[in-house]
Structure 1
Amino acid sequence: MNQLRYNWAIIGCGTIAHEFAQGAERLGGRIYGVGNRTREKAVAFARQYGIETVYDRPEDAAHDPNVDIVYIATPHNRHIEYILPALQAGKHVLCEKAITLNSGELNQAMEAAQENGCILAEGMTLYHMPLYEELRKRFEGGALGRLRLVQASFGSYKPYDMTNRFFSKELAGGALLDIGVYALSFARWFLSSKATQVLSQVSLAPSGVDEQSGILLQNEAGEMAVLSLSLHAKQPKRGTAVFDRGYIEIYDYPRGSKAVVTYTDNGRQEIIEAGHTDMALCYEILHMEQAAAGEGNAMYLQYTADVMETMTTLRRQWGLTYPEEV
């Protein structure tokens, strides 16, 4: 495959940052720079992936004239403090989900991107998987009729420790921002417009973050979505989009490479396979570089904004705020 066309700097050295660097290697490229709050981790990361530049402070990546694109992989309550300086310095930004804590922060970032002529995007894998473009051809072509309902579940079993990042309010924990963003993004891919009605039930952990919820959405077209999230119970990552004349089923939908389409008039099933699950980060990188080069923009920032608006509404309903928002 082609080497990277741009110099990338990574901020953060967690699990997903390693996957990202490995994705760059699979594309025949190499990350240019890395920064982390603990510099020793950045040094080790750089050594592992042959990265030539290590920043003394992660924010220094924004001011490096050799950097074209900044990839942010810190805990999401720190995203905005790295997004804004990078955009203001004229860098394109790809940021891990959830891209910000709330719609207010995202609106700030979107304004900065527009003012500085930069691409801003969320690292939402499913928007970049080839399977979803194949599915779009099916449902936009009218073969399945009108969309009626989207269903999605995402459940993990996490140790019930309030100091764990999944349950820590200081680290913006909770199911919604960590795994719910996938389910909501899946729904948004199929819905013809954003949700205008948002209902839910939630269970809060002793730390005050959401540990389990059921969410019901409806848009102006009358299309609905039903989502279930849990940090207490492992669930299959199963998504279904139900239309007048058939339905689409996808397992492991965040990085899905296979779907089954069932046509309800005769029960015929069509299996659609596209892309590879283990290439998910590669697709993100390629799409971001294409957007930076002005070769179209398949980064779906408006979908990201719609999902963030829904998450902000949900947390407002739940009375859930993080220290940075007070």
Structure 2
Amino acid sequence: MANWVSAGCGVIANELAQAMEKRGQKLYGVVNRTQEKAVAFAKKYGVQNVFTSFEEVCADPAVDIIYISTPHNTHIQFLRKALAAGKHVLCEKSITLNSEELEEAMQLAKEHGVVLAEAMTIYHMPIYKELLKRVDAGDLGELRVIQMNFGSYKEYDMKNRFFNRNLAGGALLDIGVYALSFVRMFLSSCPDQIASQVKFAPTGVDEQAGILLMNPKKEMATVTLSLHAKQPKRGMLSFDKAYVEMYEYPRGQKAVITYTEDGHTEELRAGATADALVYEVEDMERAIAGQPEVMKLNYTEDVMRMMTEIRKQWGLTYPEEE
């Protein structure tokens, strides 16, 4: 089993430590901006190494994989150091702010012969792997339309990270990345036509958006996002022989297929929401053992390209890009 280090001690880092425990392993180390939090985290999960700096993590030859769960806009700084030090990296979404940063990170990973991946649960949940088998077998016919909803109700506090431009806030990078990753997983190719509408929050980040996508095969997708209006986390795939509904899709475990001809339904169940990070960890270890394709970095690249283009249409930039 690989030696993992968590960079960050937030919600995701706690889930990562719990996922490790489910697999009968422990994190090798932890590093955090505030040392006291790292010490408390290490004590809670029996983590043997508390590093004092990210540089120290990169310098430890025993470290195999670094999981980065710091704010979006800090990812590239950590990616540069970790990849250059020859460490494999699993990075929280959104992996970078834009395509340019991602290309730089991918080039570094290639130069140093390491695996770089985004921690996008959708690519690793068993339900999607099952559903793709059904799609590939032709049971559902040709894909026509995908409809995605994701709405969170965040307090209208312009200082929190969701609305904070200095922390790369906004609906697209925070929740839109899930919807677009789902879309990319089921479309036969990346959309080459993108139209959108946006409502900005007082801080200048995107609070609400509608996105319309189409690829060269004329498969279409619509995405509706909001940070200040609750919506079901619903994904709907329409094929010419059936449609598929998926609720709570970022960590889905159930899909309902309704067949067009006679209206009968079928329920698919696979995996468990609670084990989302376990699947990510397992796939990442598979990737460093010689199967990098399981991490779907090509999809991550396409999604980042879409988000970069959408923000360009909106004229939305972050301080790091100016």
TM-score normalised over the length of structure 1: 0.97
CA distance in 2, matches of 1:275, 1:196: 33
Gaps of 5+ in 2: none
Q: 1:206-251 CA deviation, whole Å, 9 max, x = no partner?
A: 1100000000000111001000000111111010011111111101
The match for 1:181 is 177
1:105-116 equivalences under 5 Å are 105-116=101-112
The match for 2:189 is 193
2:165 is equivalent to residue 163 of structure 1 = no
2:295 counterpart SS class: coil
Q: 2:4 aligns with which of 4, 8, 24?
A: 8
Shift of 1:59: 3.6
Shift of 1:60: 2.4
2:245 is equivalent to residue 260 of structure 1 = no
The match for 1:308 is 304
- Runs (4+) of structure 1 moved beyond 6 Å? none
AA at the equivalent of 2:312: R
1:1-40 equivalences under 5 Å are 5-40=1-36
The match for 1:215 is 211
AA at the equivalent of 1:143: D
The match for 1:236 is 232
The match for 2:52 is 56
Residues 261 and 198 (structure 1 numbering): CA distance in 2 closer, same or farther, change over 3 Å?
same
The root-mean-square deviation of aligned C-alpha atoms, in Å, is 0.8
AA at the equivalent of 1:176: L
CA distance in 2, matches of 1:200, 1:35: 39
CA distance in 2, matches of 1:59, 1:41: 18
Q: 1:36-56 CA deviation, whole Å, 9 max, x = no partner?
A: 111111111111111111111
CA distance in 2, matches of 1:139, 1:293: 28
Shift of 1:296: 5.6
CA distance in 1, matches of 2:109, 2:48: 27
1:42-81 equivalences under 5 Å are 42-81=38-77
Q: 2:90 aligns with which of 90, 94, 103?
A: 94
Q: 1:270-325 CA deviation, whole Å, 9 max, x = no partner?
A: 11000000000000000000111114631000000000000000111111111111
Q: 1:64-95 CA deviation, whole Å, 9 max, x = no partner?
A: 11100010000010001111111111111000
TM-score normalised over the length of structure 2: 0.99
> Percent of aligned pairs with the same residue?
61
CA distance in 2, matches of 1:58, 1:102: 23
Gaps of 5+ in 1: none
Shift of 1:269: 1.1
1:67 counterpart SS class: coil
2:276 is equivalent to residue 291 of structure 1 = no
CA distance in 2, matches of 1:15, 1:296: 26
Contact 1:122 1:299 in 2 (8 A): yes
